[in-house]
Amino acid sequence: VTANAAGRLMAAEIAEQPQVWHRLLTEAVDPIGEAAARMADRAPRFVLLAGRGTSDHAALYAKYLIEITHALPAGLVSPSTTTVYGARPDLRDVLYIAVSQSGGSPDLVQSMEVARQQGALTLAVTNNPGSALACAAEIHVDVLAGQERSVAATKSYTAELLALYLLLDRARGGDGRHASSLPEFGTQVLAFDELVRGVAQRYRFAQRLVTTGRGYSYATAREAALKLMETCYLSAQPFSGADLLHGPLAAVDPLVPVIVVVPDGAGGRAMMPVLERLAERNADVFGVGSAAALELLAGGITLPTGVPEELSPLLEILPLQQLALHLAIARGEDPDTPRGLQKVTETL
């Protein structure tokens, strides 16, 4: 690979993820512990989460964690209610979490400022401690991903997932120990790179693609679809497994490839009826998940065993980032500089 080869930044940042996770697991213990203590102190009763693009998917992951492991109701914020319509909601007892790689999106900053004025405890999760978003929040968690140069976010996504996991785990008294083997597991999964390169050839001429998962893995389905759209310019649609059966399944036929995320655990098991319906429609299905689930499919990437389901999304996305990279290159595109996009998107 030469210095100017297409996708070299994205490839390097994908490969860097186990190191980023190791850094978070070692260097962020104290700051995340302090942030978690301040969160727990305030005993929030509702949680709101805000993010755009890739970071919205990290927020979605955290929503599941909060609902399931913290037994708190949570919602994803529509920043426009504040920035476009001027809403000033009563946010006492609310924890407001904004997630952003750059910390620079003006609508997120403004929404957070309003949330703080309205009584919420505000927490920013970013890759830039000097950013406007980090400064606007009472608490900041740095995801320590290092500078991200590829326009398609990869390492900052999984760093956001892990920082949110560690924060929420600590806030309920955990010590993050279940995450300690993640860097090793990540290295194992990244070793499927050659296999994924071959898989990319099969999608060379696909114009539409569907991704699907349930529970924690729904975030993976959404993020994989966004990566494929950003870098390969195909129409990739993510659905929760349940939503897919409510209408969009009609648009799936053997010419629309489907990528399913089926990890060990309750969310993966809940995908079984979806796999059955897809088989009835003779859909072309590729899986990322447990060995047991993949036995039902023609092809896929098997994830290591022994990973708690709530941490699987960090591993599930790796081969799908690689797929976006290799498919873009196979189509003659440079995924480091997608047409029509900048690294920091400013929306109001």
Chain residues 116-175 in contact with its own copies, contact rule CB under 8 A? none
- Applying CB under 8 A, the site for its own copies has a residue count of 72
- Shortest Cβ distance from residue 192 to its own copies (Å)? 25
CB 244 within 8 A of CB 340: no
Helix (H, G, I), strand (E, B) or coil at 85: coil
Does position 46 interact with its own copies (CB under 8 A)? The reply is yes
Q: Are strands 235-240 and 258-262 parallel, antiparallel or unpaired?
A: unpaired
Of 236, 239, 271, nearest in space to 256 by CA: 236
Q: Contacts with its own copies in 180-219 (CB under 8 A)? A: 207-208, 214-215, 218
Task: Between 76 and 291, name the residue whose CB sits nearer to its own copies.
Answer: 76
Cβ of residue 69: shortest distance to its own copies, in angstroms? 8
The helix or strand, by DSSP H or E, that contains position 330, with its residue range, turns out to be helix 312-330
- Give least dist CB 295 to its own copies, A: 21
Q: CA end-to-end span of the chain, whole Å? A: 39
Give the H/E segment covering residue 30. Answer: helix 29-42
Q: Which stretch binds its own copies (CB under 8 A): 44-52, 141-149, 292-300, 315-323?
A: 44-52
Least Cβ distance, residue 57 to its own copies (angstroms): 11
> Can you name the residues that pair with 210 across neighbouring β-strands?
237, 258
Which of 63, 155, 227, 343 is flagged as catalytic? 343
Is 229 a binder of its own copies (CB under 8 A)? Answer: yes
Q: In the range 83-112, which residues lie near its own copies by CB under 8 A?
A: 84-85, 87-94, 107
Q: Which is nearer to its own copies, 80 or 305 (CB)?
A: 80
Among the residue ranges 126-134, 139-147, 223-231, 311-319, the one whose residues contact its own copies (CB under 8 A)? 223-231
User: In the window 285-324, what residues touch its own copies (CB under 8 A)?
Assistant: none
* DSSP letter for each residue of 205-231: T--EEEEEE-THHHHHHHHHHHHHHHH
325 binds its own copies (CB under 8 A): no
* Closest separation in Å from C-beta 340 to its own copies: 5
Q: Least distance to its own copies from the beta carbon of 188, Å?
A: 26
Half-sphere exposure of 302 (CA within 13 A, CB side): 11
Q: Cα(290)–Cα(193) distance, rounded to whole angstroms?
A: 18
How far is the C-alpha of 180 from the C-alpha of 143, rounded, in Å? 16
Candidates 53-61, 126-134, 135-143, 192-200 — which segment interacts with its own copies by CB under 8 A? 53-61
Q: Is 4 exposed, middle or buried (0-12, 13-18, 19+ CB in 10 A)?
A: exposed
Q: Which is nearer to its own copies, 130 or 340 (CB)?
A: 340
Q: Is 275 in the site for its own copies (CB under 8 A)?
A: no
The answer to whether residue 338 forms part of the interface with its own copies (CB under 8 A) is yes
Q: What is the DSSP letter of 249?
A: G
Binding mask 59-78 for its own copies (x = CB under 8 A): ----xx--xx--xxxxxx-x
**Residue 56 identity (one-letter amino acid):** D
Chain-centroid distance of CA 3 in Å reads 28
Q: For residues 258 and 278, is the Cβ–Cβ distance under 8 A?
A: yes
Of 81 and 187, which has the nearer Cβ to its own copies? Answer: 81
Give, for 300, the enclosing helix (H) or strand (E): strand 299-302
Interface residue with its own copies, options 41, 184, 194, 253 (CB under 8 A): 253
Distance of alpha carbon 69 from alpha carbon 130, whole angstroms: 31
Kindly tell me which residue out of 12, 270, 296, 330 binds its own copies, with binding defined by CB under 8 A. 270
63 a catalytic residue? no
Residue closer to its own copies (CB basis): 319 or 338: 338
Neighbours of 333 (CB within 10 A): 17
Contact call for residues 95 and 66 (beta carbons, < 8 A): no
Q: Minimum CB separation from its own copies for residue 121, in Å? A: 13
Annotated catalytic residues are: 343
